[in-house]
Amino acid sequence: MASVGNLVHLSAPRSRISSLYLSSNRHPPNSIVLKNRSVVPQASRLAFLSLPENKSNSSAPTEFSGKFLRFSGSNPLLRRHRPVTFPVVSTAAAADGREVETSSGLNKPSKGFCEKYPALVTGFFFFMWYFLNVIFNILNKKVYNYFPYPYFVSVVHLLVGVGYCLVSWAIGLPKRAPIDKDLLALLTPVAFCHALGHVMSNVSFAAVAVSFTHTIKALEPFFNAAASQFILGHRIPLALWLSLAPVVIGVSMASLTELSFNWTGFISAMISNIAFTYRSIYSKKAMTGMDSTNVYAYTSIIALFFCIPPAILIEGPQLMQHGFSDAIAKVGIFKFLSDLFWIGMFYHLYNQLATNTLERVAPLTHAVGNVLKRVFVIGFSIVVFGNKISTQTGIGTAIAIAGVAIYSLIKANMEEKKRDIYVEKGSHLGSKGCYNY
């Protein structure tokens, strides 16, 4: 007895099938043999033995189609440890017993747009990353021009991002990953450094030109290398240290002749560099199996609680006395609230897109993209705000960016070599390994 898992439609009205079996032997001349090229072994054939043919309808072709034929039962010829599936798409044969071939029955799913054009999708990620970053920096500075309260604005940035994460979790995009006491303990120092670096960056943005803050923040690789060498005990090659020399020289040149220079903006940007360096150190210690989207969401929630107390203590009295009222009097309550909302949304989205872009490309590509992003932000901020820069500041900024580019290229090449060595060793041991770059 054979059971058919999917219907098989026969178009010939008078043709009948008497039995269905598997055989590797030769078949009678009046049988129709179906050979499958995909999953059925060549030694096995699917044979249909027809009853004595009807002379009046012998010329009519027999056509049938379906997806799968599924066999099971007590017949010893059909008995298997598990059902045997034979995919069939369509076939046609005359009833004279000629041998015909079937096309593969595996329905290959059509590729989506992301699979067909991965380069376009990656390019779109880079474009949106740059676009949102530039828009955030410009809108953020415009808000500081009439509302110079960076501690409160930092809270707004994280508050809007946390609201976005909660809504995303509520609709299941992405699904919220559970968190326990141990993971909370690992993420707390990461969130503290994230909060400190974020607040200090905003203090610098409010005090000096956006282009100057980003020039100082170009020193972040120098602090990362110093922390790796002297805190973590990792040996930093001489080539990396030499590539950082242009960064230090360029930032020094830009700082000496920066027209908007003040110590508050400079020191705040430097503290931001140090905080983000320690954030990267603690992030490596807090590596878990949780996806990056959920990790960033939990980090933002914890960082929000660190940012609220200083905002209340440092800026709270001024905000209640005249801060809010002055801003509303200048631009109106609707524009004031909408500006705060959108800078928070842009801040969260560009950080999330930066993470998503890193997952799609190699470290080398992401390093180059990060350098170009800083160039875009500096260039657009100068054009939009009309900041006047001296020749020495321009040259120093260019030297610093070039140094960061050289450093990023060297470091990315080193990371890729380490990864290749690790993969090669893993392949010898039989491990599969998985890398999301």
Domains of the chain, by residue range, sit at: 146-339+387-428
pLDDT at 271: 95
Alpha carbon 235 to its chain's center: 30
Sheet (strand 62-65) strand order: 9-10, 62-65, 90-93
Please give the residue that has the higher pLDDT: either 345 or 45. 345
**Which token pair is 252?**
């020094």
Q: What is the CA radius of gyration of the chain?
A: 33
Buried b (16+ CB within 10 A) or exposed e, 333-363: eeebeebbebbbbbbbbbbbbbeebbeebeb
Q: How many CA atoms lie within 13 A of 206 on its CB side?
A: 19
Alpha carbon 328 to its chain's center: 38
| Largest CA-CA distance found in the chain, in angstroms, rounded | 103
pLDDT at 20: 39
Q: Find the helix or strand (DSSP H, E) in which 249 lies.
A: helix 238-256
Closest CA relative to residue 154, chosen from 255, 30, 41, 303: 303
Share of the chain above pLDDT 90, in %: 29
**Which token pair is 81?**
């440890």
Say if residue 362's pLDDT is above 80.
no
pTM of the model: 0.66
**Which token pair is 82?**
């598990």
DSSP structure class, residue 16 = -
**Which token pair is 414?**
């080193």
pLDDT at 123: 84
pLDDT at 363: 62
pLDDT at 75: 47
Q: What is the pLDDT of residues 311-341, one digit of tens each?
A: 999 999 999 999 999 999 999 999 999 999 9
Alpha carbon 217 to its chain's center: 24
Band (287; pLDDT cuts 50, 70, 90):
low
**Which token pair is 341?**
């909302």
- Whole-number Cα distances in Å, 412 to 145, 163, 192, 405: 38, 35, 27, 10
- Give the total residue count for the chain: 437
Q: What is the pLDDT of residues 52-76, one digit of tens each?
A: 555 444 444 444 444 444 444 444 4
**Alpha-carbon gap, residue 86 to 184, rounded angstroms:** 52
- Tell me the angle at which helices 210-217 and 363-385 cross, rounded to the nearest 10 degrees: 160
Q: What is the pLDDT of residues 3-57, one digit of tens each?
A: 444 444 444 444 444 443 344 445 455 444 444 444 444 444 444 444 555 544 4
**Alpha-carbon gap, residue 223 to 229, rounded angstroms:** 10
pLDDT at 366: 67
Query: Which residues have C-beta within 8 Å of that of residue 78, sequence separation ≥ 6?
Result: 1, 2, 21, 22, 71, 72
Q: What is the pLDDT of residues 100-137, one digit of tens each?
A: 444 444 555 566 776 777 778 888 888 888 889 999 99
Most confident of 57-61, 169-173, 261-265, 326-330: 326-330
Mean pLDDT, residues 353-357 taken together: 79
**Alpha-carbon gap, residue 371 to 247, rounded angstroms:** 12
**Alpha-carbon gap, residue 22 to 201, rounded angstroms:** 73
